[in-house]
Amino acid sequence: MERVVGGYLDHLTVERGLAANTISSYRRDLRRYTAFLAAAGVRGLGEVAEADVSAFLAALRRGDDVHPPLSATSAARAVVAVRGLHRFAALDGLVTDDVAAEVRPPAAARRLPKALPVEAVVALIEGAGALEGPRGLRDRALLEVLYGTGARISEAVGLTVDDVDRGQAVVRLAGKGGKQRIVPVGSYALRAVEDYLVRARPELAAAGSSRGRAGALFLNARGGPLSRQSAWSILRAAAERAGSAAEVSVDDVSPHTLRHSFATHLLDGGADVRVVQELLGHASVTTTQVYTLVTVDRLREVYATSHPRALT
C-alpha cells in the first residue's frame, strides 16, 4: 500500500505538477488513511471496500483521541486525496474496481457574505475621508466607488479616468475574464470622484510619469496606479479611523465588504436578484442568491421583534 501511495504522489508531482503544499497535505491525509485501514485489518488496496472509505470519512468528521474532528472543508480535501489514490490504482490495473468513486466529499457549510449596516458603511467612508490632503480625497472617492457600484477592489483600481462617465452617471468595469459591464453610479460617488479629480489627482500625478497622469483613475503617492493591496490597506485604515463609535471593526472588513454591503442593501431595498446579478457581474444567478439568505435572516429578525404573534 505504501508503494502505491508513493507512486500516486510522484504522479501528482511530476505529471500533474501540483504545488508542494498540496502534495504535503495529500501525503498527510493518505498517511492517516493507510493507518486507518491498517487498524481495521485491511492490508492492501485490493481489500478495501466502499464501506471502508465511508467509515474513514466518518472518522475524519468524528475525530479521535489523537486527531480533532475535521471541518467539512478539510475532510473534503482528505476524501479527494483518497478518491484520487483509488482512481490511480484502478487506472494502473493495481486493483480491479475503484471502490471510492461513489463516496462524496462532505459539502462545506455555505458562508454568508459579511455586510455592514448602512450607518457603518457611511462611517467607513467618512473615516477614509478623514485624512488631510490628496490622500483623503482619493480614499473617500475609492470607497464611494466601491460601495456605489459594487465593484471588486481589483476592478476599482483598474479603472481609468475615461471609465467614469460623469455625464451618463455610469462606470465601465472590467470584471473576471476581461468581461466588461456598465454599472450606474450614484451622486455621492460621482461627487467624491469629481472632488478627487479636481483637487487631489493632479497633485498625485505630478509625482509620477505621464503614463500615470493619463491612465489610472486612482493613483498612489508616487503617481502610479494604486495597487489592490494598497486599496485593501486603505479600507482597513478607514475601519480603524471609524472606530468603535460606529461599531466598525477591522475584523468586520474584507476586500469584498463594500461589495457585499452594496448587494445586500439593494436586495433589502427591493431590487430584483437578477438585476443585482448583472450589477455584480456574476455569470450565474445562483452565485447572487447567497445574498438573499442574508436578507431573509434580516427579515426574520425584524419579524421576530415586531410581529405581535412572533414573540415567545
Instruction: Provide the annotated active-site residues.
Output: 152, 176, 256, 259, 282, 291
d(CA 135, CA 196): 9
Task: Give the three-state DSSP class for 104.
Answer: coil
Strand partners, 183: 171
Contact 201, 141 (CB under 8 A): no
Counting runs of H as helices and runs of E as strands, what totals does the chain give?
15, 3
Pull the grid cell for residue 204.
498625485
Task: Give the three-state DSSP class for 164.
Answer: strand
Kindly report the CA angle at 293 between 285 and 277, in degrees rounded to 5? Answer: 25
d(CA 104, CA 268): 36
d(CA 234, CA 145): 13
d(CA 1, CA 248): 54
Which residues make Cβ contacts (< 8 Å) with residue 194, sequence separation at least 6?
166
Which residues make Cβ contacts (< 8 Å) with residue 237, sequence separation at least 6?
127, 128, 139
